[in-house]
Structure 1
Amino acid sequence: MRTILKGALLLVAIFLALTPASASAYSYGDANTEDVAETFKLVVSALGKSPADWKAAEAAQKEMRDVFVSHFGEGVAATLDANMQARDADAVIANYKAMLVMNLNRRFSNAIQSVHDYTQAKLLLAKARATYETLAPYAESKLSKADLDGLSADFDAALTAIGNPGLFGVGKKEPDEKALQDAVNQVYGAMKPLFPFTADPAAAGKAGGADVQTAEPDTIDGTEKHAAMARETKTNPAITVGVIAGIVVIGGGAVFWARRKGWF
């Protein structure tokens, strides 16, 4: 009997050791911190004032300029600088929208590359969706409601396509890379033509500045290289606490039952 009890307690110990990893795998991406989209909102807000607050717009851009260079190239950042210096609000906002499309490409490409890493792929799709939702209001005059509803459904399809690691293997579903590519390209293919990037002549000599729109692919296959995103693990605390609490209750019940049987 003692051997059985030791085996049961060992099983509980193994479950406790595995819980953090399994609960972490079943995690939720944070869609509220897409920095490129948040900077766009700050710039639009500053330039929408009467008179336009160019100082605030330039400050927001300056804070993110190194990030823009890293993700989209010096040419893009130089064009935005030139638009700001020319005090051309329409050009600034139009090119920021185009940069958000570039950000969709970046997030989608990295999601495809991370398709076998559920936590990372889900976070990347969450950030892509935050980018899309920032652009969507500007697409309402160009796409029908049915089209926009379809794009929202494509995001849901992309989320389904990355599979699910399950909890302790229960409910596990393998990812489908082709389905993921199909879904993200529906979104990207619809948005890219709506928001073209217009390079400023002064930035034409900068790398990528003159031809950035044609350099952006028409479809995303996950082979394009982008600056890697700092890894973030967003674990749902309710799931983690719930799993640990469940194991503790089961383990405690086993010990109580063993005591009543007089095994120790």
Structure 2
Amino acid sequence: MRTMLKTAMLFVALFLALAPSGAWAYSYGDANKEDVAETFKLVVSSLGKSPADWKTAEAAHKERREEIVSHFGEEVAATLDANLKARDADLTIANYKAILIMNLDRRFDNALQSIADYTQAKLLLAKARATYEALAPYAEAKLSPEALNGLNADFDAALDAIGNPGLFGVGQKDADAEALKADANKIYGALKPLFPYAPAAGGGKNPDEAAQAAEPDAIDGTKQHAAMARESKTNPAVTVGVIAGIVVVGGGAVWAARRKGWL
């Protein structure tokens, strides 16, 4: 009986040690990959060909259009529709860069609103950083190396600002919403002027008002952005895979320990 109890305790310890943080609640996809940014890269590569591959660019936009409408509004999606229809590669790419700025606003806003949930806030900051990294090659031509280094430091500071739940209270650090807001606005404020949005004519709004609505001056954590449902759901396949891996590794460790007489 004592041997069985020791075996069970060791297995539980291994399970807790090996289980990746957040595997159960936020296991969908790659946290460091942003769908909107990936679409932007595909559009840029397609339109950069000679001749431009409009078919692929239009297909990529069509696949992402519903999400663009959900997060940034029908007017923004319609502007991209018009840019593609006009076969204006420069304007299409410029407005997709602006969409990434809008996405930074969305991710930072939602991180501020989710700051009490460390795992979710961390995921949102990872998505924000993935968005920035898609823009970084274009920012390099507009900003000094010192400014770029500052942006990377601001992202690190933002991650620090969400605190840390620690492990059983060890290493716990409270989140600082004001620090996160300040860091987010440093990043957003540096990048927003570099990639302005140019709304299409006939969108029903004054162009200046449309641009301001799409790219506000500051991030305050109060704007309501549609949440991506898949971010808050568990991916059963990933979860089962994690559990299976832990069972295999943990079982092997227990078997080895018993062979050596440690149990």
Task: Please give the range of the TM-score, normalised by the shorter of the 2 chains.
Answer: 0.7 to 0.9
Contact 2:32 2:129 in 1 (8 A): no
In structure 2, the partner of 1:79 is: 79
How far 1:169 moved relative to its partner?
2.4
Where do residues 81-230 of structure 1 align in structure 2 (5 Å cutoff)? 81-202=81-202, 204-205=203-204, 211-215=209-213, 216-229=215-228, 230=230
Contact 1:30 1:123 in 2 (8 A): no
Matches of 2:100 and 2:192, distance apart in 1: 9
In structure 1, the partner of 2:49 is: 49
Matches of 1:168 and 1:25, distance apart in 2: 15
Contact 2:70 2:226 in 1 (8 A): yes
Q: Which amino acid aligns with 2:227?
A: A
Contact 2:109 2:222 in 1 (8 A): yes
Aligned residues: 249
> Which shows bigger deviation, 113-122 or 163-172?
163-172
TM-score normalized by structure 2? 0.80
How far 1:12 moved relative to its partner?
4.6
Matches of 1:211 and 1:192, distance apart in 2: 16
The residue matched to 1:217 in structure 2 has which SS? coil
* Structure 2 residues not aligned, in runs of 5+: none
Matches of 1:31 and 1:51, distance apart in 2: 34
TM-score normalized by structure 1? 0.79
Contact 2:161 2:177 in 1 (8 A): yes
1:24 lines up with 2:21 in the alignment: yes
How far 1:19 moved relative to its partner?
3.8
How far 1:210 moved relative to its partner?
6.6
How far 1:171 moved relative to its partner?
1.4
> Which shows bigger deviation, 80-89 or 32-41?
32-41
Contact 2:129 2:155 in 1 (8 A): yes
Kindly name which structure, 1 or 2, has the bigger radius of gyration based on alpha carbons.
Answer: 1
Matches of 1:23 and 1:39, distance apart in 2: 29
* Structure 1 residues not aligned, in runs of 5+: 259-264
Residue-by-residue CA offset, 1:87-129 (whole Å, 9 max, x unaligned): 0001100000001000000000000111111111111000100
**Root mean square deviation of aligned Cα:** 3.7
Matches of 1:185 and 1:86, distance apart in 2: 34
How far 1:131 moved relative to its partner?
0.3
How far 1:23 moved relative to its partner?
5.2
How far 1:158 moved relative to its partner?
0.6
